[in-house]
Structure 1
Amino acid sequence: MKNIRYAVMVALGIVLSTGCSAESDASSESTGKAASQPAATVNSSAEQAVNDKVKSIVGVEPEAIANSPVDGLLEVTAANQVFYVTENADYMMFGHMYDVNAGMKDLTEVALGQVRLDAIAPFADQGIEFKAENEKHVMTVFTDYTCGYCKKLHREVDELNEAGITVRYLAWPRAGLGTENYENMVSIWCAKNPQEALTRAKSIANPTFAKEDCDNTVAEQFVAGRKLGIRGTPAIIFDNGTMLPGYKPADVLIQEIAQTE
């Protein structure tokens, strides 16, 4: 059972690409509407069987169990990931489901997009925001002032703003909770001018910080990112739930977010 659980957790993982990896794992804790709407109600006996099996193998309670577009196959959301289980709970499938009659639409990514949006929704007014004057989209970015790729992306915020993209930063201290890195991120979030404090921290090699403290959700933001599978920065989430692992230039981001309209 231990080996099975390990295999399942590996299957649920997300690997980031171009970006800054976490310095430590010690402090751990696209989208739109689906092409086919599943039936409203899951058979209660099947739901209980799947709930019990997932809990015993994955080690967490499913957050949601719904019918998938495939008869006899249920869509399960657990640990902020989406996978599939047969109604008799005898088989689990990890990977993405595509609707071949809708241009190979990725139905799993649709479901994952909503999971991501739900996870970051509590922080909508608790990030550090660089707002576009003519806002068309909001791009949420998990960031760390020590990350070189985050600094590179930050230098392109003006270009993103000019394209109508608001950049909303959430904190993801790569060294983990309780570290100096974490405390400095708290100081940035609690500064009198957080935008200025973050820009300064990303603009110089070895920034110093006046210790600041306030009612903040830096720890909660970090934990939310971990639960979404984030293991490095920057991690970018478009306002339709699409997640991009790692850095991309502003011109590429502008093109890709436009394709979600």
Structure 2
Amino acid sequence: MSLLLGVASLSACAQSPAPERANGGKGTTPATSADAPAVEAGTPDARALAAIRTINEEIKVDRIAAAPLPGFREVVVGGQVLYVSDDGRYLVQGTLYDVKDKKDLSQVGLSVVRRELLDTVPTKDRIIFAPPSPKYTVAVFTDVGCSYCRKLHQEIAEYNKQGIAVEYLAFPRMGVASEDFKKMEAVWCSQDRRKALTDAKNDRKVVAKQCKNPVRMQYEIGQRAGLTGTPMIITESGVQMPGYMPPEALRAALDKLAAEGEAGPGAAVAGGH
């Protein structure tokens, strides 16, 4: 059974059609969640987990919780949200939208998982462009060849002027066997990562280097966070923005989320689109 198909934003570069799982070779699989959350036997959570396992025993389940939909559990799997009936018989995949409050409720649990995943990435493993006292901080999964990633980076000074700190994470969208992956390893292995990233995004040569680096791990995290295209912009509260956004538009969106109590760490999270 084919599950978890995503649709890329029109303002993002699509990832490889069949991205490799980054759980082999060099690097480490992130341990934000176990392969399955601890559940008590005989509970709706246990039945939901068992239902998922009947489809694919190797699926990594990041979260199981009560769904906003009565009679269902919400299960976050591979960056997507599924709903499994409490008896474990029915599975629903898709957006759960609250018409009254005009919110995508599917994003709530996914935002929690995104925060947990991002918390596993040390500051030293990010490439940061920040103003002296940022109002907001966003994590951005980026690729060196993606046109929208390049456009965002060309405007990095303006994002900073808008009070937005940008913390880059690596996502070579063509996969771990691609030239982009090697280029991003060279960037993260450079002494001056900020300059190397800027050079790579402008087709300037970056000396090929290999070292112990977080590129493979960050690629895996991007997949688990639900990435369907780069750049993927995530707020401190785990809300995903809809692909590339001009600096003023991103600042306006972050201001709106802040007014709704959804922009900062630990805030309540609503839809990211």
TM-score if structure 2 supplies the norm length?
0.79
Match of 2:15 among 17, 22, 29: 22
Q: Partner residue of 1:35?
A: none
Q: How many residues end up aligned between the 2 structures?
A: 240
Q: Do 1:16 and 1:230's aligned partners in 2 also have CA atoms closer than 8 Å?
A: no
Q: Describe the SS at the equivalent of 2:138.
A: strand
Q: Do 2:63 and 2:113's aligned partners in 1 also have CA atoms closer than 8 Å?
A: no
Matched, 1:91 2:84: no
Q: Partner residue of 2:244?
A: 247
Q: Do 1:54 and 1:61's aligned partners in 2 also have CA atoms closer than 8 Å?
A: no
Please provide the CA RMSD for this pair: 2.3
Q: Partner residue of 2:141?
A: 142
CA offset digits 1:180-204 (Å, max 9, x no partner): 221111111111111111112223x
Match of 2:104 among 92, 103, 106: 106
> Which whole-Å CA distance do the structure 1 matches of 2:131 and 2:153 have between them?
14
> Which whole-Å CA distance do the structure 1 matches of 2:168 and 2:119 have between them?
13
Structure 1 unaligned regions, length at least 5: 30-40
Q: Describe the SS at the equivalent of 2:150.
A: helix
Which structure shows the bigger proportion of residues in helix conformation?
Answer: 1
CA offset digits 1:114-153 (Å, max 9, x no partner): 1212222222411100112121211111111212211111
Q: Do 1:42 and 1:66's aligned partners in 2 also have CA atoms closer than 8 Å?
A: no
When residues 214 and 52 of structure 1 are mapped into structure 2, their CA distance, relative to the original with a 3 A threshold, is same
Q: Describe the SS at the equivalent of 1:259.
A: helix
Q: Do 1:140 and 1:236's aligned partners in 2 also have CA atoms closer than 8 Å?
A: yes
> Which whole-Å CA distance do the structure 1 matches of 2:70 and 2:173 have between them?
42
2:215 aligned partner, one-letter code: V
TM-score if structure 1 supplies the norm length?
0.82
> Which whole-Å CA distance do the structure 2 matches of 1:23 and 1:63 have between them?
23
CA offset digits 1:95-120 (Å, max 9, x no partner): 2334556x233322121111212222
CA offset digits 1:143-188 (Å, max 9, x no partner): 1121221111111111111222100111111232133221111111
When residues 24 and 212 of structure 1 are mapped into structure 2, their CA distance, relative to the original with a 3 A threshold, is farther
Matched, 1:9 2:9: no
Q: Do 2:141 and 2:232's aligned partners in 1 also have CA atoms closer than 8 Å?
A: yes
> Which whole-Å CA distance do the structure 2 matches of 1:172 and 1:66 have between them?
29
Q: Partner residue of 2:116?
A: 118
> Which whole-Å CA distance do the structure 2 matches of 1:116 and 1:239 have between them?
9
When residues 98 and 21 of structure 1 are mapped into structure 2, their CA distance, relative to the original with a 3 A threshold, is closer
> Which whole-Å CA distance do the structure 2 matches of 1:179 and 1:227 have between them?
20
When residues 254 and 81 of structure 1 are mapped into structure 2, their CA distance, relative to the original with a 3 A threshold, is same
Match of 1:54 among 52, 55, 73: 52
Of residues 73-82 and 17-26 in structure 1, the stretch that sits farther from structure 2 once superposed is 17-26
> Which whole-Å CA distance do the structure 2 matches of 1:95 and 1:231 have between them?
15
Match of 1:214 among 211, 214, 217: 211
Larger radius of gyration: 1
> Which whole-Å CA distance do the structure 2 matches of 1:23 and 1:89 have between them?
33
> Which whole-Å CA distance do the structure 2 matches of 1:183 and 1:256 have between them?
34
Q: Do 1:130 and 1:157's aligned partners in 2 also have CA atoms closer than 8 Å?
A: yes
When residues 19 and 71 of structure 1 are mapped into structure 2, their CA distance, relative to the original with a 3 A threshold, is closer
Taking only the aligned residue pairs, the percentage that are identical comes to 32
1:20 aligned partner, one-letter code: C
1:239 aligned partner, one-letter code: E
